[in-house]
Amino acid sequence: MENIDVPLPAASPVPVAPVASGAYPSKATAIQPTPAPSNENPFGGPPRRTTAVHNVRKRIGSALAALVAVVAKFGVAIKALLVALPNLKLLVTAGTALVSVAAYSLFFGWEFAAGFVVLLFVHEMGHVIALRREGIKASAPMFIPFMGAAIFTRSLGDNALAEARVGLAGPILGSIGAAAVAVVGELTGSDLLIALAYFGFFINLFNLLPVVPLDGGRAAAAMSPWMWFAGLGVLVALVFLEPGNPILLIIVLFAAFQTYHRWQQRKSRTLEQAAYYRVAPRYRLLVFAVYVGLIALLVFGMSETHILTSGGHSFGSI
């Protein structure tokens, strides 16, 4: 039987209805949601957030390291300054001493000027030694041309007796230094050294005037503060006797201010002030004996070393 091929009609395309607005698409055409940001690093390594935190910590660590380095350098500088401080004090003392020698040399010659500055140094070291015995720190001596020398400290002691010890220590050691110069001058026959000793005795005697801030005023604090007014009166009298001496005028003005200030403090009658000026009678007597004895010895030393120049004028006059 012969096979007859019967052609079948072509399949018509099945129409696809469009997706209506608001209708959900089929699974085949569903739109995948946008994935949430990931902290994964696409280039490998730790996540991005971990890397940012690490950078911040690294910057903080670098800043701290720099700060520590600065502090360390600052500490080294401070330590070097503390090590050099004694040398700085020595430079201040030496520098002001050279300036004073130059200033005094204009009137007395450099040899006398140098010896005079040395005697001033010995005097001031008496105060420094006494302050250290009291447990008080003091600056190195600083020389002031035509005003002598000075040291600076926060305190002169816990009470008036300690202040008297500190005050008298300068004239005591200074008088010993002047006496040593006088002895050498007598042994060598040096008029220069004898005149230098005279000046040394005179300066120490002047400092024993009982008025602050002179050394005698420190001793008067333990004997009787009323002596300050007597010392101030002597200074005023000296100004009238030597009207052309500006140094005396400066000393009087400074002494008047100091006397007023100290007296006002004493008049406050606080417990601290009462304790400061409370000195046992036997110690008052001891300070008085040292004070008067020192004055007598200095007057004797001046009389023994007083010499005249070729013009008949006193070598030691001011």
Give dist(CA 6, CA 3) in Å, integer: 9
Using omega within 30 degrees of 0 as the cis cutoff, is the peptide bond preceding 47 cis?
no
Q: Which of 204, 201, 181, 194 is nearest to 124 (CA)?
A: 204
* Gap between the Cα atoms of 295 and 100, Å rounded: 27
Tokens 């926060």, residue? 154
- Alpha-carbon distance of 43 to 56, in angstroms, equals 20
Write the burial class of residue 258 (CB in 10 Å: 0-12 exposed, 13-18 middle, 19+ buried): middle
Q: From CA 301, how far away is CA 119, in angstroms rounded?
A: 15
3-state DSSP assignment of residue 93: helix
The pTM assigned to this predicted structure is: 0.68
In terms of Cα–Cα distance, which of 242, 197, 235 is closest to 217?
235
Please tell me the distance from the alpha carbon of residue 57 to that of residue 207, in angstroms, as a whole number.
68
User: What is the full per-residue pLDDT of the chain (318 aa) written as tens digits?
Assistant: 444 444 444 444 444 444 444 444 444 444 555 555 555 555 555 555 555 555 656 666 665 566 555 445 544 444 444 444 455 667 888 888 899 999 999 988 899 999 999 999 999 999 999 999 998 988 888 888 888 888 888 888 889 999 999 999 999 999 999 999 999 999 999 999 999 999 999 999 999 999 999 999 999 999 999 999 999 999 999 988 888 788 888 999 999 999 999 999 888 888 888 899 999 999 999 999 999 999 999 999 999 998 754 444 444 433
Inter-residue contact 127 to 174 (CB < 8 Å): no
78: helix, coil or strand? helix
Specify burial of residue 222 (Cβ count, 10 A radius: 0-12, 13-18, 19+). Answer: buried
Tell me the domain boundaries of the chain: 69-305
CA–CA dist 128, 169 (Å, integer): 9
Rounded Cα distance between 243 and 233, Å, is 15
Say what the pLDDT of residue 2 is.
Answer: 44
